Structure 1
Amino acid sequence: MERDIRQGRIEELEQIMALIAECVRVMQEGGSDQWDESYPNAEIITEDIERGTLYVYEEAGAPAGILVLDENQAEQYKEIKWVQTEGPNLIMHRLAVHPRVQGKGIARRLIACAENFAVERGYKSIRMDTYAKNTKALELYRRLGYEVRGEVSFPGRTANFPVLEKILAAAE
């Protein structure tokens, strides 16, 4: 792990939820309903922290960005025609950077950290989805070598979610 990136701690839950709330506010102001008051909620984030799957980018002693890494794929991922069919596959969820520090390369650093994590642990690919209306995230993922494999939909959202994959190692 990069020195500014570490596992999240339960005593940071309030700060992490404040970061998420600020991201939700900015998303909604921009016309995106990707996240809201019900997702991601404190219960989900607490579970991420307790499982040791939530990582924090720390700046000035406080969480400035978060990312969850695990193997939990949404049920909808079964519909996707993946290129890397052999596992294991690492799944990225809930990437968020506080709006006041966006544009400083924090998301890129969190993703690079996820990729290093995956390679070190023998994952064959990284999979994720992002909201179709989140054009900045889509552009970033494409620039970093993630390829769109299809789209899924989630209940209560007005747009689909492109599903992306980055192959980390050739299948044996």
Structure 2
Amino acid sequence: MRKAQFEDINEIMDIIRLTIFEMHSYNNYQWDENYPQEKDFITDINEGNLYVLERDGRVVAFICVNQIEPEEYSELDWSSKEVGMVIHRMSVHPEYRRTGVGSKLMKFAEVLAKNNKINYLKIDTNSINEKMKALFIKCGYNFIGEMQFLGKEEPFYCYDKILVEEPKR
């Protein structure tokens, strides 16, 4: 994993196009021509919050992690009142799915949080995004509730995870 650079934008946008095509094939319109856009990733890179995973010299996945919470989060009863980090735009190139890359991105977010002395993570996804919901559960995240978001018809499901200290050996 490394911080994304402006040179990565084309590969990131290729992953976005493929992901949107796949999402729409099962009637998930969480991402579309309006979101996410290239400008979102340029902002993420400028703020140092976007990370990419490379395989065979190409970007195959990305994740944005920061402390920016959508205002809709304030209406939910989260597991902790402590400051948390939030996982935002995240995707894996279809050719690299089902190989553990998604879990690796989630684990990276946990390590990044701990390195920033934060022990709490939050994330959300469209309620019909079964693949992401399954990934969150697999990675130990707890369902918190739902919210309306991005003007979408379906609600978004919100999850969180309190990170525990690893036992000393």
TM-score by length of 2: 0.94
- Larger mean Cα displacement after TM superposition, 65-74 or 120-129: 120-129
| Aligned residue number for residue 158 of structure 1 | 153
Deviations 1:116-145 (A, max 9, x none): 111121112000101111112111111211
**Alignment identity in percent?**
30
* 1:132-171 equivalent positions in 2, closer than 5 A: 132-169=127-164
| Aligned residue number for residue 28 of structure 2 | 32
1:104 corresponds to which of 99, 103, 115: 99
May I ask how many residue pairs the two structures share in their alignment?
A: 165
Secondary structure class of the residue paired with 2:78: coil
- Aligned-residue offset at 1:29: 1.2
Specify the code of the residue in structure 1 equivalent to 2:43. E
Looking at structure 2, the residues matched to 158 and 78 of structure 1 have their Cα atoms a distance apart, in angstroms, of 20
- Flag as ranges the 4+ runs of structure 1 deviating above 3 A: none
Looking at structure 1, the residues matched to 66 and 14 of structure 2 have their Cα atoms a distance apart, in angstroms, of 23
| Aligned residue number for residue 127 of structure 1 | 122
5+ residue gaps, structure 1, are: none
Contact 1:33 1:158 in 2 (8 A): no
Contact 1:84 1:124 in 2 (8 A): no
| Aligned residue number for residue 88 of structure 2 | 93
- Aligned-residue offset at 1:50: 1.1
Deviations 1:7-54 (A, max 9, x none): 101011111111111100111112110100110001111100111100
1:114 corresponds to which of 102, 109, 114: 109
Looking at structure 1, the residues matched to 88 and 29 of structure 2 have their Cα atoms a distance apart, in angstroms, of 16
Looking at structure 1, the residues matched to 120 and 150 of structure 2 have their Cα atoms a distance apart, in angstroms, of 26
Q: Give the root-mean-square deviation of aligned CA atoms.
A: 1.2
2:55 corresponds to which of 53, 59, 67: 59
Looking at structure 2, the residues matched to 150 and 122 of structure 1 have their Cα atoms a distance apart, in angstroms, of 26
5+ residue gaps, structure 2, are: none
Looking at structure 1, the residues matched to 48 and 136 of structure 2 have their Cα atoms a distance apart, in angstroms, of 24
Looking at structure 2, the residues matched to 35 and 164 of structure 1 have their Cα atoms a distance apart, in angstroms, of 19
Matched, 1:77 2:88: no
